[in-house]
């Protein structure tokens, strides 16, 4: 760890806010680096001691406090997490979802209708092929190869 990185972390290290591995690296660097150790000592000298002067409590007050704590019942809320639903914000999304579902439903019904019709068509007997016999043909009224006349003459 470089001096600059260590110096940026000195206060956090002294406050016990660094990750364990990071704290070890800072500690090792400070132990071996004069500049960082001097800065750390100056910071320690400038930092006031935390105010942790808790006034002593009498035995009577402690007993009274314990009694009050025993008598106190805490009503936990029935449901810890209640989702807040903003229906006005949700409405357009719900409308779009309904429209998409309607379209999908319509498409599916049409798909199944078409499938049913195709099944009926497949099940019906194929119509007999109509092939004209030789005598069923009539000669064309105008045969350009046989006459020089123009149509309509």
Q: HSE, CB side, 13 Å, CA atoms: give it for residue 88.
A: 0
Residue 23 in the binding site for Zn ion (CB under 5 A): no
56: left (phi over 0), alpha (psi -120 to 50) or beta: beta
CA–CA distance, 16 with 6 (Å, rounded to integer):
14
The least distance separating Zn ion from the CB of residue 8, rounded to whole angstroms, comes to: 11
Residue 26 touching Zn ion (CB under 5 A): no
Q: Assess contact for 40 and 30: CB atoms under 8 A.
A: yes
Can you tell me which of 3, 24, 61, 149 binds Zn ion, judged by CB under 5 A?
Answer: 3
Applying CB under 5 A, the span of 26-34, 38-46, 47-55, 63-71 interacting with Zn ion comes to 26-34
CA 114 to chain centre: 38
With contacts defined by CB under 5 A, name the span among 29-37, 51-59, 84-92, 100-108 that binds Zn ion. Answer: 29-37
Query: By CB under 5 A, is residue 38 in contact with Zn ion?
Result: no
The window from 28-36, 64-72, 95-103, 105-113 that contacts Zn ion (CB under 5 A) reads 28-36
Query: What CA–CA distance (Å, rounded) separates 104 from 45?
Result: 74
Residues near Zn ion, by CB under 5 A:
3, 33, 36
């Amino acid at each position: 760890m470089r001096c600059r990185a260590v110096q940026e972390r000195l206060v956090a290290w002294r406050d016990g806010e660094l990750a364990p591995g990071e704290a070890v690296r800072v500690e090792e660097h400070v132990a071996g680096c004069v500049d960082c150790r001097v800065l750390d000592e100056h910071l320690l000298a400038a930092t006031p001691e935390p105010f942790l002067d808790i006034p002593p409590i009498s035995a009577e007050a402690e007993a009274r406090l314990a009694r009050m704590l025993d008598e106190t019942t805490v009503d936990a809320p029935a449901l810890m997490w209640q989702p807040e639903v903003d229906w006005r914000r949700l409405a357009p999304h719900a409308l779009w979802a309904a429209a998409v579902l309607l379209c999908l439903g319509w498409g599916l019904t049409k798909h199944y209708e078409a499938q049913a019709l195709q099944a009926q068509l497949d099940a019906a007997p194929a119509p007999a092929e109509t092939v004209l016999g030789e005598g069923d043909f009539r000669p064309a009224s105008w045969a350009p190869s046989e006459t020089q006349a123009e149509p309509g003459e």
